[in-house]
């Protein structure tokens, strides 16, 4: 059914939250009631520290945007920590190689919009009207989106939006924000060898670029990585049907979520140090690597079976649970949004894995909680800011963006 992606599981959880918050409110008026909510910080807007800079320090978790346990779209134009998000699934900044603005972009997926947070900490609309739809022209603030899951900024400074619910990649001019092109005609699998504008994709979850400017699309529903070249011609770069097979990129198989209400999976990152594309192979509970020199796909983390094990050892023997995003640091560390385990994990340059943020238990922790003691709830997207050595986390089911400095 069109426009139903994410809505079933997300709204079920949201419903539970609303019931919980109602119980908290009722309990507060009952004398002697010892009802202790799991998420005791919910709905305490008055307690929010307005100056977010007062939270910080090495390895300390701080809120950047959103109010825990409250989904909505209120508060645009004001402090991001007072504004509401609706299942934010990723976070992005202008890359180091371009002029840094310090602005943060939030994939506010169930609001069908991308939000912009200024250096001063205020949140504004950026791309997407907030109405679910399929905008075909205009500037970013005029275009309807449908569960956008990723924003990528090209070396030319243009914005590539994975408009996943519409099975399209929408490209916006970096200066004017005018929509320049739209890759994908409809949901499906067709068009290899022809123009990307006429091709079909199936809920593309993310976009990355190689140093030559070629575009790699995680074509989630098609279990493939598709490539768009400088002439805008699309081809299948790797993958075929769903499976878990290493080998040549033509023979290799991935397993990305395909249910109509499935969250974004299969997001990828380019590592230009070793000329490889790393992929969060979500339903294989693993991280895969495509070597651009040899054309071979290997598994760098995970066994194929969901679990939470292996910290301190080689990542290939460790278990992950529904990883949805993978990113790099310049110092060759790999970060994984291990969303089903409610943690962010790290692979060091020697291939050893550890947990960086989260305890494994789903929940919420307030500002100033040390990262390894903090609870996250289905963290599904991450970004690393090299300039400020800060990790940003889309703490999706808490409706917040979090940050941790200097891990
Ligand atoms: Ca990301």
- Residue 53 has a pLDDT of 53
Ligand 1 centroid, distance to 381 Cα (angstroms): 5
Q: List the one residue out of 338, 383, 368, 407 whose CA is nearest residue 153.
A: 383
Ligand 1 centroid, distance to 252 Cα (angstroms): 24
Q: List the one residue out of 160, 282, 274, 288 whose CA is nearest residue 214.
A: 160
Ligand 1 centroid, distance to 20 Cα (angstroms): 30
Please state the length of the chain. Answer: 407
Ligand 1 centroid, distance to 36 Cα (angstroms): 35
Torsion angle of C-alpha atoms 194, 195, 200, 204, degrees rounded to 10 = 120
| Buried/exposed code over 65-85 (b: 16+ C-beta within 10 A; e: otherwise) | bbbbbbbebebbeebbbbbbb
Ligand 1 centroid, distance to 108 Cα (angstroms): 13
Ligand 1 centroid, distance to 326 Cα (angstroms): 7
Give me the residues paired with residue 115 across strands: 106, 125
Ligand 1 centroid, distance to 164 Cα (angstroms): 15
In a structure prediction context, what are the per-residue pLDDT tens digits for the chain, which is 407 residues long?
Answer: 233 334 333 333 333 333 333 333 333 333 333 222 222 233 333 333 334 457 989 999 999 999 999 999 999 999 999 999 999 999 999 877 777 788 999 999 999 999 999 999 999 999 999 999 999 999 999 999 999 999 999 999 999 999 999 999 999 999 999 999 999 999 999 999 999 999 999 999 999 999 999 999 999 999 999 999 999 999 999 999 999 999 999 999 999 999 888 999 999 999 988 899 999 999 999 999 999 999 999 999 999 999 999 999 999 999 999 999 999 998 999 999 999 999 999 999 999 999 999 999 999 999 999 999 999 999 999 999 999 999 999 999 999 999 999 77
Q: List the one residue out of 61, 25, 60, 57 whose CA is nearest residue 43.
A: 25
Name every residue whose Cβ is closer than 8 Å to that of residue 209 and which is 6 or more positions away in sequence. 152, 154, 155, 215, 216, 270
Ligand 1 centroid, distance to 90 Cα (angstroms): 5
Ligand 1 centroid, distance to 270 Cα (angstroms): 12
- Residue 227 has a pLDDT of 98
- Residue 43 has a pLDDT of 31
- Residue 74 has a pLDDT of 97
Ligand 1 centroid, distance to 105 Cα (angstroms): 11
Ligand 1 centroid, distance to 404 Cα (angstroms): 15
Give the separation between CA 68 and CA 55, rounded to whole angstroms.
Answer: 16
Ligand 1 centroid, distance to 70 Cα (angstroms): 23
Ligand 1 centroid, distance to 327 Cα (angstroms): 7
| pLDDT, tens digit (0-9, with 9 covering 90-100), for 134-171 | 999 999 999 999 999 999 999 999 999 999 999 999 99
Ligand 1 centroid, distance to 263 Cα (angstroms): 14
Q: What is the DSSP string of 192-203?
A: TTSBTTT-BBS-
For the four alpha carbons of 271, 274, 277 and 283, in that order, the dihedral sign comes to negative
12's enclosing H/E stretch is helix 7-28
Radius of gyration of the chain (CA): 20
Ligand 1 centroid, distance to 242 Cα (angstroms): 23
Ligand 1 centroid, distance to 301 Cα (angstroms): 18
Copy the structure tokens of residue 134. Answer: 């399929």
β-bridge pairing 268-271 and 276-281: antiparallel
Please work out, in degrees rounded to the nearest 5, the angle formed at the alpha carbon of residue 331 by the alpha carbons of 330 and 334: 85
Residue with structure tokens 């903090």?
374
Ligand 1 centroid, distance to 30 Cα (angstroms): 44
């Amino acid at each position: 059914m069109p426009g139903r992606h994410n809505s079933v599981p997300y709204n079920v959880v949201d419903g539970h939250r609303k019931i919980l918050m109602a119980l908290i409110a009722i309990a507060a008026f009952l004398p002697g009631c010892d009802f202790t909510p799991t998420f005791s910080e919910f709905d305490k807007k008055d307690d929010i520290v307005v100056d977010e800079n007062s939270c910080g320090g090495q390895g300390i978790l701080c809120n950047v945007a959103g109010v825990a346990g409250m989904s909505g779209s209120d508060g645009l134009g004001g402090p991001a920590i007072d504004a509401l998000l609706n299942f934010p699934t990723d976070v992005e900044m202008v890359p180091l190689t371009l002029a840094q603005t310090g602005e943060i972009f939030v994939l506010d997926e169930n609001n069908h919009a991308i939000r912009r947070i200024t250096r001063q900490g205020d949140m504004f609309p950026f791309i997407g009207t907030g109405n679910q739809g399929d905008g075909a022209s205009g500037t970013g603030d005029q275009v309807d989106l449908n569960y956008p899951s990723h924003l990528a900024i090209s070396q030319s400074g243009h914005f590539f939006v994975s408009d996943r619910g519409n099975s399209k990649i929408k490209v916006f001019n970096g200066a004017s924000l005018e929509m320049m092109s739209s890759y994908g005609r409809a949901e499906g699998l067709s068009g290899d060898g022809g123009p990307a504008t006429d091709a079909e994709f199936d809920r593309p979850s993310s976009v990355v670029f190689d140093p030559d400017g070629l575009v790699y699309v995680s074509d989630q529903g098609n279990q493939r990585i598709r490539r768009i070249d400088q002439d805008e011609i699309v081809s299948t770069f790797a993958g075929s049907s769903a499976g878990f097979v290493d080998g040549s990129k033509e023979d290799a198989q991935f397993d990305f979520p395909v249910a109509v209400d499935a969250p974004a999976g299969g997001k990828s990152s380019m590592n230009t140090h070793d000329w490889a594309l790393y992929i969060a192979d979500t339903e294989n509970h693993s991280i895969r690597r495509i070597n651009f020199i040899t054309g071979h796909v290997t598994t760098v983390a995970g066994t194929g079976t969901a679990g939470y094990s292996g910290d301190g050892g080689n990542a290939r023997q460790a278990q992950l649970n529904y990883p949805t995003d993978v990113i790099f640091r310049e110092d060759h560390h790999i970060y994984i949004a291990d969303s089903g385990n409610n943690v962010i994990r790290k692979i060091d340059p020697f291939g050893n894995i550890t947990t960086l943020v989260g305890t494994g238990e789903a929940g919420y922790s307030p500002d100033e909680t040390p990262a390894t003691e903090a609870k996250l709830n289905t963290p599904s997207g991450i970004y690393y800011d090299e300039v400020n050595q800060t990790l940003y986390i889309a703490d999706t089911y808490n409706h917040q963006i979090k940050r941790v400095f200097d891990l």
